[in-house]
Amino acid sequence: MSKFEGILMGMGNPLLDISANVEQDLLDKYDVKLDSAILAEEKHQPLFKELVEKYKPTYIAGGATQNSIRVAQWMMKKAGQTAFMGCVGNDDYAKQLEDCATSDGVLVHYMKDEKVPTGTCAALIKGGERSLVTNLDAANNFKQTHLDTDKAKEIIESAKFYYIAGFFLTVSVESLLQVTEHALANKKTFCMNLSAPFLIDFFGDQMASAMPYVDFLFGNESEAAAYGKKHEMGEDIKEIALKVAALPKKEGSGSRTVVFTQGSESTIVARDGKVTEYKVQPLSKDLLVDTNGAGDAFVGGFLSQLVEGKDMDACVKAGHFAALYIIQQSGTQLMKECDYSA
């Protein structure tokens, strides 16, 4: 394996999406709300079997952070600029994930758990909206010791930007904090995503431990609202963005930028006491396939320009481009070469 000399590293939960178009009755049967993201409980386990047996699903490489890294790599158009770490099983699903990411130009350095299957995510699509039910399985078993491997050290040393979705807070906070400490000590850039309201509500301590290191924080309107409610910041999304941007940071780490997407509504960016709104290009309803991966794609597009030192306008423009492309596909599938031009 050749030496990694890229600029962007992701760490998170590698999952194989099992995606299918469903009706409301299936959502009701398993008590799943539309446009939600949850961890599978015991009552959800039969859902995965039912999807495979009755719905002719599509299998798509997924996992929020891995999606963003794949999109960033696609937008950057030069192979080997990105790397990703996470835990998988030793099975066909893991090979599918590795083959997909590798073909997209991402270096994957998976930790492999021989005893547990690769994680899966039921992506339930109804009317273009998505609901995600995740069985973490092997993804839940990532250990900090993996960061001590020679390849992991090489990736961490080479990278100048790090991105970890909030979902990883349920897996290995120690690993996340090791990366954040490295970023802080070496004046590199750390980015995180709120990822889902349940993380804000039930993993608040873990999120609070990471927040002082966060240089760029991403989220959508429902996550922003949940954060505002939990921390008594009010209901106005711009005010919440400003208040989150102003939360304490580690000494010497500069300002925090907060980026909240709102679907087809304007994207909000807050930094240094100022809020900027960026309009989203509308998409005709008949061109919408599904919204699964839209937020991940936005982050990937944004990061592809951030790592090149571009300004905020350029970063958001690229994020919007990537999200617009992905919602016209089923899941995060990069079916053609990227034709983006800044």
Beta bridge pairs of residue 276: 269
Catalytic residue among 296, 311, 313, 339: 296
> How many CB atoms within 10 Å of residue 309?
7
Judge whether 296 counts as a catalytic residue: yes
- Measured in whole angstroms, how far is the alpha carbon of residue 319 from the centre of its chain? 13
Q: Are 116 and 138 in contact (CB under 8 A)?
A: yes
> How many CB atoms within 10 Å of residue 146?
19
Which residues are within 8 A (CB) of 84 and not within 5 positions of it... i.e. 6 or more apart? 9, 10, 11, 12, 14, 65, 66, 69, 101, 106, 107, 108, 109
Q: Are 183 and 189 in contact (CB under 8 A)?
A: yes
For residues 121-135, one letter each, b for 16 or more C-beta atoms within 10 angstroms of the residue's C-beta and e for the rest, the string is bbbbbbeeebbbbbb
Which residues are within 8 A (CB) of 309 and not within 5 positions of it... i.e. 6 or more apart? none
Beta bridge pairs of residue 30: none
Instruction: Return the DSSP state at 196.
Output: -
- Dihedral sign, Cα of residue 248, residue 250, residue 255, residue 256: negative
d(CA 260, CA 248): 19
Q: Are 168 and 12 in contact (CB under 8 A)?
A: yes
Burial class (CB in 10 A: 0-12, 13-18, 19+), 13: buried
Q: Are 139 and 88 in contact (CB under 8 A)?
A: yes
Please name which of 121, 178, 189 lies closest in space to residue 153, comparing C-alpha atoms.
178
Active site residues: 296
